[in-house]
Amino acid sequence: MDATGRTAHSLRNVTCTVLLKNRQETQQGIDYILLLFVPNALLVQATFSMVSHRNTFKIRLLLAILPVMWIAGFQLGAARLTAQPPSAARPAVGDDTSTPTDSLERQPAAESVDWRPLLAMGVGVFVVLSLMIGLKVHAFVALILGALAISCFIPLDIIGFVKSPEPHVIRAESGAPVQIVNRVTSSFGNAVTGIGVLIAMAAIIGKCMLVSGAADRIVKSTLAVLGEKRAPLAMMVSGFVLSIPVFFDTVFYLLVPLARSLYRSTGKNYLLYLGAIAAGGAITHTLVPPTPGPLLVASALKVDIGVVMLIGLAVGAPSAVVGLLVAAWLNRRMPIAMRPMAGANVNSLDEQEFTRLPSLFMSLVPVLLPVVLITIDTVYKASLGANPSELQQQWKGWLGLVGDANLAMVLAALVAVYLCWKVQGHSLQQLADHVEDALLSGGVIILITAAGGAFGSLLAMTEIQKVIEAWFAGRESSGLVVILLAYALSAILKIAQGSSTVAMIVSSSLVASIALPLAAAGTLGFHMAYLVPVIGAGSLMGSWMNDSGFWIFAKMGVLTEGETLRSWTVLLSILSLAGLLVTLLFVTLLPFPF
């Protein structure tokens, strides 16, 4: 064959390679349309039904089908990509013996796909969401039953799962049917070990900051520094800081009376004050540990809590500013006058007055102490070289003790209890009552969060990560795809069942099965900790009538359901997108900060 003939033959092969690649990418695009467009179309239909006909049964049915359709699209994409790897059918350029027809026909036969992991995932998520949405079962019971459903698909000789340094299942020499239950209980216990003390101490800190006047001092000091003209910024900053150790609903209860007082003095910007509180409080509630959602996500993804705190604060601050700007826009677009609150007891928090308040420094210690201790330990470990000296190793050990998240939170809780005794003069019995009240509310959160951890561990024992790893094999854009899938999954779960914490718990379990193998193989392309704010941002999307935060904003702010949909729902949706975009910016500019 002469040079011209060889050149023409090579060009034909290149053309066939490009056509084949484009055909595969087109098919992948169809999979993504099935994965994202169909559920979103159902969501639009549910919203239209809600606004036009208020058909509650239809809304619940559509929202129950929503995650199932997402998983169906996920399974379809996984089946196609594992059956036909993108690199399997590419002809060699310049092969003189190949023809365009041969290149298209030399595709390998579809490999057999183990559907058990995907089926187990679909059944588990369906059980959880159908119980919570359809039957209104408590989240703890739904998650445990979902974990048991997944356990039925796992071989009996598998007794555990190790997430690091390389994810793999633990097998016993023989198995028994009782392992179906034992796997759930052992995974539940392991989850409590990781997050139990942290959530309990966070609940104590939040309660004691309220009854000692520390939270009140932080808010009043912020207002004094920024002034009345910058009161919305003061409200946002107060909500941002207080929602790190205190649950969002408590922070909103605390700050709404101040917003009402500001309106009485200014006669305007009532919705702006409410929106500023919501923007600051919601973003740290979902992005910064030790609140349960981001704490469990960090545990599921096996990332350092100190790194998650720093990244959460870095992402949360500009996102909160965006939320404040959106609140100002909403206030101009739909100005709302403050209305009287119904009921004599609802306004009890407005009347709470302290004769003495702690200093600003002591008020901030319960909030900042764990952040400082954990940050010092994280930064010191990151600054060590490859071969640290013996003295540096000793310092690393002691700072690891002081910077341990559990110890740091215990120390902060002790300071918070001390403030109740020192400033307000509470007796030992009163202090015990405060701690008991905190643990009663925190205990429920621990149970739900640990049940979510068990759900994730059982999902990992199905070895679904191997299916997902094959799905993403050879794809350069896998890191971006993981981010978008993590956000979409968290957002869909949030819209479907209402709870941000549950959405983060369930989605982190699924995302961990995707991200951990990629991170272990070095193909993820960014630090795993960035997935925590991505999932947290997704859990803010589309908050509506099935979210307790929706009703807290509506009832405490004395707004109608329509006003809340046009303000709270819009604000949190834009806040969600802002969190995603800021995280993507950090991933692009600083993919490995530590």
Q: Please write down the HEC assignment for all residues of 71-92.
A: HHHHHHHHHHHHHCCCCCCCCC
Instruction: Count CB atoms within 10 A of the CB of residue 580.
Output: 23
Q: How far is CA 282 from CA 26, 88, 124, 238, 514, in A?
A: 39, 46, 28, 12, 27
Q: Return d(Cα 141, Cα 137) in angstroms, integer.
A: 7
Q: Are 36 and 73 in contact (CB under 8 A)?
A: yes
Alpha carbon distance 50, 541 (integer Å): 17
Name the E strands within 154-243: 158-162, 168-171
Q: Kindly report the backbone phi and psi dihedral angles of residue 170, in degrees, each rounded to the nearest multiple of 5, phi listed first.
A: -105, 125
* Residue 158 φ/ψ, nearest 5 degrees: -85, 125
* Buried/exposed 80-110: b ≥16 CB within 10 Å, e otherwise: bbbebbeeebbbeeeeeebebeebeeeeeee
Distance CA 307, CA 533 (A): 12
Pairwise CA distance, residues 504 & 199, whole Å: 16
Quote the tokens at residue 31.
């999979």
Predicted pLDDT of residue 140 = 86
Q: What does DSSP assign to residue 137?
A: -
Three-state DSSP state, 159: strand
Report field, pTM of the whole predicted structure over 0.75: no
Question: What confidence score (pLDDT) does residue 418 get?
Answer: 92
pLDDT at 280: 93
Q: What share of the chain is helix, strand, coil (3-state, %, to 5)?
A: 75, 0, 25
pLDDT of residue 103: 38
Q: Write down the H helix ranges in 384-477.
A: 390-402, 405-424, 428-461, 464-472
- Exposure of 219 by Cβ count < 10 A (0-12 exposed, 13-18 middle, 19+ buried)? buried
232 near 374, Cβ under 8 Å?
no
Q: 3-class DSSP state for residue 559?
A: coil
Could you tell me if 442 and 205 are in contact, meaning their C-beta atoms sit under 8 angstroms apart? no
Q: Which of 118, 117, 90, 96 is closest to 21 using CA atoms?
A: 90
| Tokens 């179906």, located at residue | 180
Question: What is the chain's pLDDT, residue by residue, as a tens digit (594 residues)?
Answer: 554 455 444 444 544 443 444 444 444 444 444 444 444 444 444 444 444 444 555 455 555 555 555 454 444 444 443 344 433 333 443 444 444 434 333 444 344 556 778 788 788 878 887 887 778 888 788 888 988 988 888 888 888 777 655 557 788 877 788 888 888 898 888 888 877 888 788 788 878 888 888 877 877 887 788 777 888 998 899 889 878 876 787 778 767 767 877 787 678 889 999 999 999 999 998 998 877 788 888 888 889 888 898 999 999 999 999 999 999 999 999 999 888 765 434 444 444 567 788 888 898 888 788 878 877 887 787 777 667 888 888 888 888 888 887 888 899 899 999 999 988 888 889 899 988 888 887 788 788 878 877 887 787 788 776 665 566 555 544 678 889 989 998 898 788 667 787 788 878 878 887 888 888 888 888 999 999 999 999 999 988 766 778 878 888 788 888 898 899 999 999 999 999 999 999 999 998 877
CA–CA distances in Å: residue 540 to residues 6, 192, 203, 232: 59, 25, 22, 21
Q: Report the Cα 507 to chain-centroid distance in Å.
A: 8
For 178, the token pair is: 């009782």
How many CA atoms within 13 Å lie on the side-chain side of 162? 8
Neighbour count for residue 134 (Cβ, 10 Å) = 12
Q: What pLDDT, on the 0 to 100 scale, is given for residue 311?
A: 94
Residue 319: the pLDDT is 96
User: Alpha-carbon Rg of the chain, whole angstroms?
Assistant: 26
Q: ∠ at Cα 385 (384, 386), nearest 5°?
A: 130
The burial of 228, by beta-carbon neighbours within 10 Å (0-12 exposed, 13-18 middle, 19 or more buried), is given as exposed
